[in-house]
Structures are given as C-alpha cells and as structure tokens.
Amino acid sequence: MTSDDEGRPGRLPGAAGPGRAPFAHRAPAPDATAHRAPAPAPDAGSASAPDAVTCRGLRYAFGETRAVDGVDLSVRPGEVFGLLGPNGAGKTTAIRCITTLLSVPAGMVRVFGHDAAKERMAVRRLLGYVPQQLSADAGLTGRENVALFARVFDVPRRERAARVAQALAAVGLTDAAGRLANTYSGGMVRRLELAQALVSAPRLLMLDEPTIGLDPIARTSVWEHINAVRAATGMTVLVTTHYMDEADQYCDRVALMHHGRIRALGTPDELRAALSARRRAARTAAPPTAPGTPTPTPAPAASPASAVSPSAAPSRSSDAAPTLEDVFRDVAGSGLDEQSGDFRDVRSTRRTAHRVG
Amino acid sequence: MSEAPAAPHTASAEPATGAGRLDLLLVPPRARAGWQVLPARVVAMCVVELQKLRHDRTELYTRAVQPALWLLIFGETFTRIKAIPTGGTPYIDFLAPGIIAQSAMFIAIFYGIMIIWERDAGILTKLLVTPTPRAALIAGKSFAAGVKALIQAVVVIVFAALLGVAMTWNPLRLLAVAVAVVLGSAFFSCLSMSIAGIVLTRDRLMGIGQAITMPLFFASNALYPVSVMPGWLQTVSKINPLSYQVDALRGLLLGTHAHLALDFTVLTAAAALGIAAAASLLGRLAR
C-alpha cells in the first residue's frame, strides 16, 4: 500500500506554463491538455486525465447530524477550486473525507483516480494538507517543521536540506527558517504550513480556511504565495473558505455549500451572472429559466437549489452588481444566520484567531 | 463587469518566490519500501523530540526535581530506619531503579495529553494525512517517549551515583537498561494514548492520568519488594508492567537476582500490545 504508483509523467505540461493560463477566467481554456472541456461531463475519472478530485454521492454523518449530505463535485487538474459556505456547512468534513482522515462511508471519492477509501497511502502521497488550525509545531524552528514533513514523506537524506530550503524559499521564509515557530506571526505560520505541505511536491494542495483569523495584509500575502507556487508547479488547489471576496478573487471555480449540500457550482462570474439574470427575470416576471443558453457546470441534480442556469448574457447591469455573497444568500435561502457551526467548530476558530492575536 | 475580477488574478502572481528555484518541489519523493517505513517514522519522531528538547531544556530540569526528592528524602530516610526488607542491599540502592522506572513512566503518561494537544492544534491531523500508517505513527510517538525517558534515566542514574548508590558501569548492562527504559516508556505512553483515544478530551485525561500513575507506582515493586505486599496487591503487581521493568533495572544495575528473560518478554509484549491498542483507537482522535 505504500508503493509509489505514479510516475507522474506530463505533470507540468499545460498547467505549469508561466503564462498563468489557469488563471484565465473564460471557461474553455486554450490548453486543452490540462483543462477538460468546460461541459460538465462528469465521467468518473476515466480514460486520459482523471480529475484531481471526484466526489460522487459523498455522505458523512456524525451521529444524527448529516455533515455532508450527498456531495458531487469534480475538481479539474490545475485549477483553484473553492468550497464556500458558512461555519458548519460541511466543508471541513468533505475535506477530511478527501484527505482520508475520515473513512468514506457512502459514496465515492477519488483523488487523481485513486480511491480514497481503498488506496489511502497512494492518495496521501498526492496530497499537501493545511488544516484550519495553525498547526506548525511551536517548539521547533521553521526549518525543523518542514524537515519533519520531508522525513515523513520519505525524502532521502541527501536531498532533504535542499528540498526544505526550496520549500521555505517558495513561501518567503528563508530568513526566518532558523527561528522557533512560536516567534512567527500568524501569516508566517500559515506560510510555514504551506512550506510543510509543499515539501513533498503534492499534486493536490488542500487548504482548509487558509486565511482564517489573519489580517488583510497577511491574507493577501498567503494567497500570493499560494498563487505563485501554483503558477510554478501547476498543482491543483482545493480551498475552503467563508470569505466570499477571497473566493471571488482567487478561485477559478467555486462550489457554494450549505447544510451539507452543494447549492451552486461554477466560476464566480457565472454564478454572479446567473444571479443577475434571475433577478432580472424576477423583475420582469418572466419564467426564471430560459432555454437555449449553455449551462455552466450546473450544480448536481441532487441539490434542490440547482436552478442556477443563467438565462441571459451577464453584461447589462441594471441593478447593483451582485457579489458572491449575494449569490450565496440567494441559493442558500433562509436559515443562513441561525445555528451555523457547531461548538467545536466555533471553538477551534476562536482558538485559531486567538493564537494569531 | 464580468472581466473585472480577472484583474487581481493576473496581478497577484508577481511577488513571492523571489529566486523561483523550485525544481525539487516538482518531483515527489520516492516511497520507501514497506519494511523501512516503520523505522523511518520512528526516527523522524525521535528527531523531533530531541530537537524540541534542545530548544527548551526547562522540562529536563523540572522533571529532575521529583526523582531527586524521592531519592534524597524518601530514600535517605528509609535507609536509616531500615523498615523495608531489601535482602541486604541498602534501601537507597534498592530504590534507585524504582525511581528510574517511575520517572520514565511519568514522562510517558504525559504523551496522551500531548497527543490530544496535537490533535487540537492540527498537528496530529496533518501527520495522519502523510503516508504513515497509524501503527507507525504511534510507534514513533512511543519511542520518542522512550528517548525522552532515557535522558531522564541518565539524570536519575547520575544523581543516584552522587548519592553513593553502587551501580554497574558495564556498558552492555547499561545498554540493556536503556532497552528496558524505552520499552517500558513505550508501553506507558501507549497506555496513555489509548486512554486519550477513549476519553478524547484533555481535562478528562488529566484526571485519569493522575488517578492511574500513583496506583501503578505503588502497586509495583518500585518502593518495596513484592514479598511484603498483601496477596491481592501481589496479584496486581504481577500484571503491572512497571514491576517487570523495575525488576529488570534492579537486576541489571545492582546485580540482584532478577528474571531478565521474563522481564524483557513481558515488556516487549506490553509495548507491542500498547502500540496496537493505541493505533486502533487513534482514529477516534482523528474524527
């Protein structure tokens, strides 16, 4: 089970170009080698290039609480995919299923074609994971923190120091590498965690609320490092956040999650355009759906609020431009503000915020 | 309007990665062969433990206080009053191996609290997402406890020597002492981590840790020979791995009669059992 079963040829072509092709917002990316066609076509990672992450009918319950309640999603190789939602929406649980931390009880999860339930070690070798908490070991230096993960991912001794140095350089921590992590600021700890995740050259970087509790400048810095590393390595990024503005700015595609289900899925532009269209349609009292327009990766049929099909071009802005938050309020419907986030969730958020100061 | 958000994307990638030499970060490391994973993870965890100890030695000093007091006050006093039949050896000599085992156990029992703390801090979560089987992770942690306990044992041995305890300096015997200390600590850290996997919170574990360490200590041959115990306590002592550890340490350090083969068998089996139990309960902490 620990066998290294992927030689990873063709990892860089396409997605890794310095031209930042993955940032392009238009859905049909020109380099069709890395990006699949924008059409949904949810074939479960078949044939040529499997999706970075494929979830089909993923469910997970803690006792009575159905944290994840039938999630279908595909993360394409090379994209930054945002999983959005308020506390308690099920984002972290979904992430923990994909990382093999929680065993998948129902449904299917695949990471680059590897089944997360059956090939745990193979999946873990593909992952770099940064949990929600600031998880660097405060009693170790930055360099030692990264070296631990180099060891645990079987980096041979002769290239360990060089690899650790590169990971630290990639996040701009070379100068602070010899200091104990408990002297780092919150943003520096996040970047250190990023270096810990990068040292094993993951193909999929999973970030759970990477900017929670950080000040705006640190948030921007963390995102800039994520983007720069991604541009250089072509890795796929799956990020959860409840900062809608960040998702809008940095994610290629987003999924809006609420009460364990995905309520909408598409590029931020598509989602906002869809909302504008719906608002316009509502104003003119026309039926909300209009035929003949391409449906941009609609939300899975299981979710009740999948009527996100945009019915017109997004150009005409008669009313205030909707934000992703507006989209979220629209698709989530009522019950947004009440009982979001269980106690442990909130507590850990507070603790993180407290540690950041 | 739809083009507007594209601007920050393109603008955002310029800074960071000054040098941009990331070639090694493009190549995933090769996985080790199956049998090498366990020793590699054990080494990784032990290295972390030593690095932490190097940065902050406070624990080393504070942890030395209690065994010092046991030897100095309890040991010296009971040597004078000769209340405990030790078969000819001075009581402080008899006590020294018991105190080594005790202080090693106290360190190891702390590991359950530590693993809960690491869970809360996200450190454990992150380690569980690495290609490390749970048993290897637990084995790594428990041997790290052993390394820490070993340093503690050295402190106690030196202190006992200063108090005039006549111990062996035979390197082979000392090596065997080290093995006994590591195995015992591995068991007690796994016991503690197993309980952590059951009770799940630090507060509960602290109470339980307090509740079990002293009984484990008193229901062993650390302070007095088994022969003076009442029958029921002798039975408890027989199933207490600490007794076997003390027996081995006493035999090796003082040259008294000991059942070394039995002792090491029991300690090895207990450590293996502990690792298996803690590894199977680790999933509860990951949830």
Residues above pLDDT 70, as percent of chain A: 69
**Reported confidence tier of residue A285, pLDDT bands at 50, 70, 90:** low
pLDDT of residue A223: 94
**Reported confidence tier of residue A104, pLDDT bands at 50, 70, 90:** confident
Query: What stretch of H or E contains A240?
Result: strand A236-241
Is B248 a member of any domain?
yes
Q: In this structure, are strands A127-130 and A236-241 parallel, antiparallel, or unpaired?
A: unpaired
- B265–chain A nearest CA distance, Å: 30
Do the Cβ atoms of A224 and B56 come within 8 Å? no
Tell me how far apart the alpha carbons of residues B193 and B134 are, in angstroms, rounded to a whole number.
12
Alpha-carbon dihedral sign for residues A67, A71, A77, A83: negative
Mean pLDDT of all residues in B35-41: 92
**Reported confidence tier of residue A48, pLDDT bands at 50, 70, 90:** low
pLDDT tens digits, one per residue of A165-223: 999 999 999 999 999 999 999 999 999 999 999 999 999 999 999 998 899 999 999 99
Minimal-distance CA residue of chain A relative to B5: A249
Do the Cβ atoms of A2 and B31 come within 8 Å? yes
Domain with B182 in it = 37-286
**Reported confidence tier of residue B178, pLDDT bands at 50, 70, 90:** very high
Mean pLDDT of all residues in B168-191: 96
pLDDT of residue A29: 37
pLDDT tens digits, one per residue of B3-18: 344 333 333 333 444 4
Minimal-distance CA residue of chain B relative to A352: B121
pLDDT tens digits, one per residue of A59-86: 998 888 888 998 999 999 999 999 998 8
Do the Cβ atoms of A351 and B120 come within 8 Å? yes
ipTM: 0.87
Q: Does domain A53-133+203-269 have CATH number 3.30.1450.10?
A: no
Is B20 a member of any domain?
no
Q: Which residues of chain A have a CB within 8 Å of the CB of B30? A: 4, 154, 156
Q: How many domains does chain B have?
A: 1
Is B32 a member of any domain?
no
Cβ–Cβ < 8 Å for A248, A324: yes
Interface of B with A in 159-218 (CB under 8 A): none
Do the Cβ atoms of B9 and A250 come within 8 Å? yes
Do the Cβ atoms of B40 and A156 come within 8 Å? no
Which parts of chain A fold into alpha helices (H)? 91-98, 120-126, 142-152, 157-170, 186-198, 216-233, 244-250, 268-283, 324-332, 343-356
Q: Which residues of chain A have a CB within 8 Å of the CB of B123? A: 135-137
pTM of the predicted model, to two decimals? 0.81
pLDDT of residue A213: 87
**Closest listed residue to residue A85, CA positions, set A334, A355, A348, A328:** A328
- Quick check: B121 contacting A, CB < 8 Å? yes
pLDDT of residue B87: 82
Rounded to an integer, what is the distance from CA A33 to the centroid of its chain? 21
pLDDT of A290 above 50: no
pLDDT of A350 above 70: no
Which DSSP state fits A180? Answer: B
pLDDT tens digits, one per residue of B234-247: 999 999 999 999 99
Tell me how far apart the alpha carbons of residues B175 and B152 are, in angstroms, rounded to a whole number.
15
pLDDT of residue B166: 87
Burial class (CB in 10 A: 0-12, 13-18, 19+), A158: exposed
**Closest listed residue to residue A303, CA positions, set A251, A253, A265, A267:** A265
Parse chain A into domains and list their residue ranges: 53-133+203-269
Do the Cβ atoms of B9 and A135 come within 8 Å? no
CB atoms < 10 A from the CB of B47, how many?
17
Is B228 a member of any domain?
yes
Q: Which residues of chain B have a CB within 8 Å of the CB of A134? A: 121-122
pLDDT of residue A347: 57
